[in-house]
Amino acid sequence: MSQCDAILKNGVFNTVITNNNNSTAENLYEWLKSVDYGTLQTAQNDGLQIGFPISGVPVNITGSISNAEFQNWKKAVNQGRTRVFTNEEANQIVEKSASPLIVKAWRDCVIPPPNTGLFHYVSEGDAGAFTILFRWAPNSPDDKAPTVAGFDVIGATAVNPLKVGQTITFGGITVLFTRQKSSSGTDLYPEASVVLNTTKGTVAEMVSAISQPVPETPPFQVQVFSSQGPSAPHPSVSVSVPEGYKVVGGGARVNYHEPGNMLTASYPASPQTWTAMGKDHEGNSPATIDGFALGLHDPKDEWDVVIVPVDSPPANHPEAVASVPQGYVMTGGGAFVRYQGEGNLLTASYPIDSQSWAAKGKDHEAPDPASLTVYAIGVRPRNGAPNVKMKFFHFTSDIAAHPSGQVQVDSGLKLVGGGAIVNWTGEGNLLTASYPQGSAWVAAAKEHIRP
């Protein structure tokens, strides 16, 4: 057995390549003659792909030999109708059965050297492992092989390191290296350097680091759920998303008749529920209200969804801003005016940038200081993958007693949230609607009692 064939004494070939005086082809044939079917099955389960050499017939190399086929070949052996594998057949069996790391090292060894002197081949394998075959090709018949003067390895561990005084032969010496996984950073396995100093020169190799695989961003599918509350002076409704969904945005619409009914709340009451509220003001005006919840389908809990609330101090015109934590992308937000007396009504609940949500309210006609809670909703993949990217679209309506408008997202994008602000002056103008409609966000407001 040559030094190159010795490389095969790993994995499935450990019990097949046994005779040091035989070639790989001869070892394969002798092993196949000597084993029983159970041993052959075990070897096939470990990856061995082999066939039966019959005189005058090409070998069909396979990994699924039946017991009947094996016994028929055994009879052919006894009848003298078999032959030894050819070198080409043996090479095919090796390449189909051994690991890529072993095959690469073996092929590098059996290929004649391309030049003279000291040189090497590198083969990279799984789990950060790699091998280096160091070889010496003499310049003349009396050119003696070099010996090792030093062997230095950084970033890896040599399983069978070269030792000072060891001879680098024509057949070569294969060294196996392993690397420990990195505990931090972007590399899964570190860069490694190997330097071999010999009495006839030096070879050096830098094996590149293996980068951490980038996790894949989980699916991001959003669906709108809605419900309508009964007609009332102070209508309200809560919309719950089904199991496996998480609220990432929402909206509301008061279906009023004059004199009017305005929004006081549109907010995430829980990770699975969106609540909307309205009220008539300084006059009886019952109305129904529609609530809308935008739910992220996350049955595998692959997304971390946070709801950040911030309370304002009581004021006639309360306002507050909430922001999602670093690393999260804001998808939506809401607000709840917590009035106690005559009433305090929403005039704004909208995104001010990619991380923050703002809300405002005001009393109207009758003083009623109130606190306001604003909510910002953010998402982040749990697996550390790149987060989704958000794009904001904006529309400003004309000045009107009952201003309204809508903004459409670009084709190919998903609507996940939206908001509105009434740019009021004078006595005031109050929100009556801010909700999703297809791929658009719709908003409306009205003056009340006074122009």
Q: pLDDT for 301-348, tens place per residue?
A: 999 999 999 999 999 999 999 999 999 999 999 999 999 888 899 999
Question: For a pLDDT cut of 90, what percent of the chain falls above it?
Answer: 56
The Cβ-side half-sphere exposure at 54, using a 13 Å CA radius, reads 15
- Residue 105 confidence (pLDDT): 67
Q: Do domains 110-212 and 222-446 have the same CATH topology?
A: no
257: CB partners within 8 A, 6+ apart = 285, 287
Parse the chain into domains and list their residue ranges: 1-98, 110-212, 222-446
CB 422, CB 404: distance < 8 Å: no
Class of the domain covering 222-446: mainly beta
CB 101, CB 175: distance < 8 Å: no
pLDDT band at 1 (very low <50, low <70, confident <90, very high): very low
pLDDT surpasses 70 at 15: no
Question: For a pLDDT cut of 70, what percent of the chain falls above it?
Answer: 91
CATH 2.60.40 fits 110-212, yes or no: yes
Q: Model pTM greater than 0.85?
A: no
Q: pLDDT for 213-263, tens place per residue?
A: 888 999 999 999 999 999 999 999 999 999 999 999 999 999 998 888 999
pLDDT surpasses 80 at 91: no
Q: pLDDT for 352-390, tens place per residue?
A: 998 999 999 999 888 889 999 999 999 999 998 999 999
Q: pLDDT for 157-205, tens place per residue?
A: 999 999 999 999 877 888 999 999 887 777 889 999 999 999 999 999 9
d(CA 169, CA 6): 14
d(CA 192, CA 211): 13
